[in-house]
Amino acid sequence: MERKANQSVVDLLFILFFEILLIIYIENYENYWVFHIYTRVRDYFNMDDGTVGILGVCFFFIIYGARRAKEGKKFSESLFNINNELKEQIIYREKMEKILLRKQRLESIGTLSSGIAHDFNNILYAISSFNEMNIQALPEGSDEWDNSMEIQKSVNRATELIKQILIYSKGIEGDMKLIDIGDILLNVIAMFKQTTNPNIKIIDKIQLSIYIVADPTQMHQVFLNLFSNSVYAMKSTGGELKVVLEKVNSQDLFEILDSCKTNEYAKITVSDTGTGISEGVLNKIFDPFFTTKKVGEGTGLGLSVVYGIIKKHDGEIFVDSEEGKSTSFSIYLPIKKEN
Amino acid sequence: MSAHILIIDDEEAITKSLGRFFKKSGFMVSTASNGEEGLRIFDTELIDLVITDMLMPEVDGLEVIREIKQERARKIPVIGMSGEISDEIVDIPLLPISPLLGVDFTFQKPIPNNDLLNKVKELLELYK
């Protein structure tokens, strides 16, 4: 602002200086052409020198005003741009706050559920241990034996569920090795291409030779769970499942990742054109036992397990969705080495 | 003479069920509901194998194992168990102090009775 004000003062001085020069020229009759045009115009409008002087001053102010107006327009344009930038920043911050809140909630649910899981394992151990003794003591095939076998089946199911919660809340140390993540993706994609209804189009854009240190079985499970959800979301309408694997620089990620473990990340995007997820549901999708599926169709652990595995691999997972239109999951995993 | 097993767990249902199972399988069994009581029994009876919970209030499983293996320097097998996630208790042998601690086997609850029985028999054979 200060710079602009100074500039207009300079402009004003410059124009005044030019006018003074012109007057000197005219008074000395040295410049024939200027004098000639001046007298012709003056006589044409039938004016005296005084009127011309007043008109000159008016003309000067009109030009000067027009210039200021132009500057003002520029100024309001830049204000508009700054305003837009601020608006974008607010939207971005709000989004980040939501992600942070979601993370904090998941962490507290994780702590809570791992405590519950610990207690349940103890309880289940007592039930199964007593029950196994009954199974051994009872005559095989008797009703009582059969009852105890049913108890055992339920205990086994509960044990399996608790294992899944623990994978979610703490992750399980897998068989970590250097893998080409694209290979695994292509494997799971091939499996889905064979088994998925043809009304769902599967598109992949996989960059190979991106190496990460990971448990291949767990990564397999991550993609399996994500693809299954996408296919489920499009099962009646059909649509497009798109899987992209690319390399991204951690410089572009420092705002969304807690801490960058490496210079480069593998970014896997799984997007579908299914039913989408509403804002209210979006905040809960990684919670254990949260499901929108009917009873018996899902346990509500699929995405929790995905979340747990990605966290255990020092990665991040984000979700974006537009209800009724699309859903997109982005996974970031640190690249360890490239061959 | 049958081997004498000491089972330590703050969950009464577990000491009761495992105690009954090992008695039925022909072992002598003592049970304790915390680490302190477990060590007291260990000092008064001739114990051949210890199965201890890892997470207990006050004297926990790690302390029990350290007392038995290091302080008392007894060459008997010790098994650690926990309802916690497996990699945490499996990590114990990976800790720098664990070779000194010398826990022989760890598992996450629950496991089938017979699997535990086989492991117990195997360890007793190894330490004979």
**Average pLDDT in the B104-112 region?**
86
Closest CB from A125, A155, A166 relative to B85:
A166
At residue A235 the predicted structure's pLDDT band, cuts being 50, 70 and 90, is: confident
Q: With contacts defined as CB-CB under 8 Å, which chain B residues touch A148?
A: none
Closest CB from A120, A126, A172 relative to B86:
A172
At residue A168 the predicted structure's pLDDT band, cuts being 50, 70 and 90, is: low
Q: Does B28 touch chain A (CB under 8 A)?
A: no
Give the model confidence (pLDDT) of B25-42 as tens digits.
999 999 999 999 999 999
Does the pLDDT at position B64 exceed 80? yes
Closest CB from A119, A130, A170 relative to B83:
A119
Least confident piece of the model among A168-177, B57-66, B103-112: A168-177
Residue in B95, B109, B120 to test binding to A, most A beta-carbons within 10 Å: B109
Give me the pLDDT at residue A259, please. 65
Highest mean pLDDT among A163-167, A213-217, B50-54: B50-54
CB A162 within 8 A of CB A124: yes
Sequence-distant (≥ 6) Cβ neighbours of residue A212 within 8 angstroms: A178, A179, A181, A266, A313, A333, A334, A335, A336
Q: Does B110 touch chain A (CB under 8 A)?
A: yes
Give the model confidence (pLDDT) of A86-141 as tens digits.
998 888 888 777 777 777 777 777 777 777 888 888 999 999 999 999 999 999 99
Closest CB from A126, A159, A173 relative to B17:
A126
| Contact state of A126 with B13 under an 8 Å Cβ cutoff | yes
Residues 34..73 of B with a Cβ closer than 8 Å to A: which? Answer: 55
Does the pLDDT at position B48 exceed 80? yes
Q: Which residue has the tokens 């969950």?
A: B11
Q: How many CB pairs under 8 A join A and B?
A: 68
Q: Which residue has the tokens 């959800």?
A: A229
Closest CB from A114, A125, A130 relative to B109:
A125
pLDDT higher for A52 or A199? A199
| Contact state of B24 with A133 under an 8 Å Cβ cutoff | yes
**Average pLDDT in the A213-237 region?**
89
At residue B14 the predicted structure's pLDDT band, cuts being 50, 70 and 90, is: very high
Least confident piece of the model among A240-244, A293-297, B36-40: A293-297
Highest mean pLDDT among A162-166, A284-288, B82-86, B110-114: B110-114
| ipTM of the complex as predicted | 0.79
**Average pLDDT in the A324-333 region?**
91
Give the model confidence (pLDDT) of A16-73 as tens digits.
665 665 666 556 655 666 666 666 766 776 767 677 677 777 777 787 788 788 888 8
Chain B residue with CA closest to A174: the answer is: B87
| Contact state of A126 with B20 under an 8 Å Cβ cutoff | no
Residue in B14, B24, B55, B85 to test binding to A, most A beta-carbons within 10 Å: B85
Q: Does B107 touch chain A (CB under 8 A)?
A: no
Q: Does B11 touch chain A (CB under 8 A)?
A: yes
**Average pLDDT in the B75-83 region?**
88
Give me the pLDDT at residue A299, please. 66
Phi-psi sector, A150: left (phi>0), alpha (psi -120 to 50), beta: alpha
**Average pLDDT in the B97-120 region?**
80
